[in-house]
Amino acid sequence: MSNDKRRRASVGHLEAAFGVSLDPELLERALTHRSYAYENGGLPTNERLEFLGDSVLGVVITTALFHNHPDLPEGQLAKLRASVVNMRALADVARGLGPEGLGAYLLLGKGEETTGGRDKASILADTLEALLGAIYLQYGLDTASIVIHRLFDPLMAESAGRGAALDWKTSLQELTAALGLGVPEYRIEGTGPDHLKTFTAWVVVAGNRYGGAEGRSKKEAEQRAAEAAWRTLTEQAEQGAQGDGGATPAQSTGTTGNGAGAKHATAASPAGTPTASPAGGTATETAGGTAADPGGGAAAGDAGTSDVGSARA
């Protein structure tokens, strides 16, 4: 047995998370990333299982959405599916499998191991699909469908509740437009060496900051910051509608840090982080990725290119 397999977490916890036991050989193949296969004599990789699992996941989610939303047109169903079956959503599901997340069970090459591969969204999403493909091969579509519903039903319900938007940034922009709060602006900070860089994002809405969320890429961090803002503003809007006069967040006074849902928001800027300054000419990243400079001229936004690839839609 290799040192890699000895160090790997017990697969029993992983199988318990799925609710099924898998043939050991099939399970090992589903967990074998190509980097590990190449470093160990060209072993079979999980890529064929990933290809199969992607299709199985797609048909189960599509069928569920078709039946759960009989009045939605094709375009909205497609958006809703894209908000569930995408790399970031799959990676988040994968991180919740077992006591340590799916990353603890992966067979990775030394290069991926040293560059944080166990928490890369692309690797986690692909491996989850490979495992679903393995479950389909061993048990058939009915069992695979049960497993997929167990893992993805909460996500489907949540996605339907936020308007079938493609992502949290889209959802937030739709919400702020409806509440009259203007366009969200994003701030990004990066820390760590290039091969293990972590990004922290904040989103500014109507002068209030939300998030402080981390991600392995700028895109991931921005999505998490947008989610925090969306949840807080939604909670505030619901509470305002139930309170005196039905005030919206745009009409209320005070800072976000002292208001409802403050657990998702920070009213004060961390030291060294630029704050919104419409009069002072500080460059800010807008939702479109371009920073407006009130002092004159436009500056390129800090959108960058995600290091985890494009989302599967």
Could you give the residue numbers annotated as active site? Answer: 54, 129
Residue 264 CA to residue 203 CA, distance in Å, equals: 11
Residue 301 CA to residue 287 CA, distance in Å, equals: 9
CA angle 230, 231, 233 (to 5 degrees): 65
CA angle 159, 232, 87 (to 5 degrees): 35
- Going by the DSSP 8-state scheme, the letter that residue 32 receives in this structure is B
Indicate the burial class of 62 (C-beta count within 10 angstroms; 0-12, 13-18, 19 or more).
middle
- CA dihedral sign, ordered 259, 262, 268, 273: negative
3-class secondary structure, 256? helix
Residue 298 CA to residue 273 CA, distance in Å, equals: 20
Q: Angle at which helices 74-84 and 47-68 pack, to 10 degrees?
A: 130
H or E stretch at 189: strand 185-191
